[in-house]
Amino acid sequence: MLHDKTIIVTGAASGIGAETARQLKAAGARVIAVDRNEPAAEVDAFDKIDLTDEAALDAVIEDLRKVKADGLANIAGVPPTLPPEVVVTVNLVALKRLTLGLVDSLADNASIVNLASLAGIGWEGEVAKIKAADSLTHAGVADFCARNGVTAENSYFFTKQAVVAWTLENRWTWRGRGIRMNAVSPGPVETPILKDFLETLGERAEEDMKVMDRPGTPADIAPVVVFLLSRGSGWLRGVNIAADGGMRSHIDATSNGLV
Ligand SMILES: NC(=O)c1ccc[n+]([C@@H]2O[C@H](COP(=O)([O-])OP(=O)(O)OC[C@H]3O[C@@H](n4cnc5c(N)ncnc54)[C@H](O)[C@@H]3O)[C@@H](O)[C@H]2O)c1
Say if CB 95 and CB 167 are below 8 A apart: no
Residue 190: give its domain's CATH number.
3.40.50.720
Cβ atoms within 10 Å of 130's Cβ, excluding its own: 22
Q: Is ligand 1 within 6 A of the CB of residue 130?
A: no
Tell me 133's DSSP state: T
How far apart CA 120 and CA 65 sit, in angstroms, is 30
113 lines ligand 1 (CB under 6 A): no
Residue range 228-245, pLDDT digits in tens: 999 999 999 999 999 999
Tell whether 177 is covered by a domain: yes
CA-nearest of 183, 166, 187, 161 to 248 is 187
In the reported structure, the alpha carbon of residue 258 is separated from the centroid of ligand 1 by a whole-number distance in angstroms of 34
Q: Reply yes or no on whether the pLDDT at 23 is more than 80.
A: yes
Q: Is the pLDDT assigned to residue 218 strictly greater than 80?
A: yes
Is 145 among the domain residues?
Answer: yes
Q: How far apart are CA 164 and CA 195, in angstroms?
A: 23
Q: pLDDT of 158-212, one tens digit each?
A: 999 999 999 999 999 999 999 999 999 999 999 999 998 888 877 777 777 888 8
- What separation in Å is there between the alpha carbon of 111 and the centre of ligand 1? 20
* E-only strand ranges, 20-81: 30-35, 45-48, 71-74
- Which atom of ligand 1 has the smallest separation from the CA of 16? 16
Whether 100 is covered by a domain: the verdict is yes
Residue 259 lies in a domain: no
Residues 83 and 151: their CA atoms lie apart, in Å, by 8
The answer to whether the CB of 16 is under 6 A from ligand 1 is yes
List the catalytic residues.
156
The answer to whether position 242 is within a domain reads yes
What's the 78 CA to ligand 1 centre distance in angstroms? 5
pLDDT of residue 144 exceeding 90, the answer is yes
For residue 24, what pLDDT band results from cuts at 50, 70 and 90?
A: very high
Is the distance from the beta carbon of residue 76 to the nearest atom of ligand 1 less than 6 Å?
yes
DSSP-based helix, strand, coil % in the chain, nearest 5: 50, 15, 35
Structural domain for 179, as ranges: 6-254
In a domain, 243, yes or no: yes
Residue 245 Cβ inside 6 Å of ligand 1? The answer reads no
Q: 188 CB under 6 A from ligand 1? A: yes
Nearest-atom number in ligand 1 for the CA of 115 is 41
In the chain, how many domains are there?
1
77-119: pLDDT as tens digits: 999 999 999 999 999 999 999 999 999 999 999 999 999 999 9
Domain assignment present for residue 69? The answer is: yes
Distance CA 71, CA 13 (A): 18
What is the Å distance from ligand 1's center to 70 Cα?
A: 22
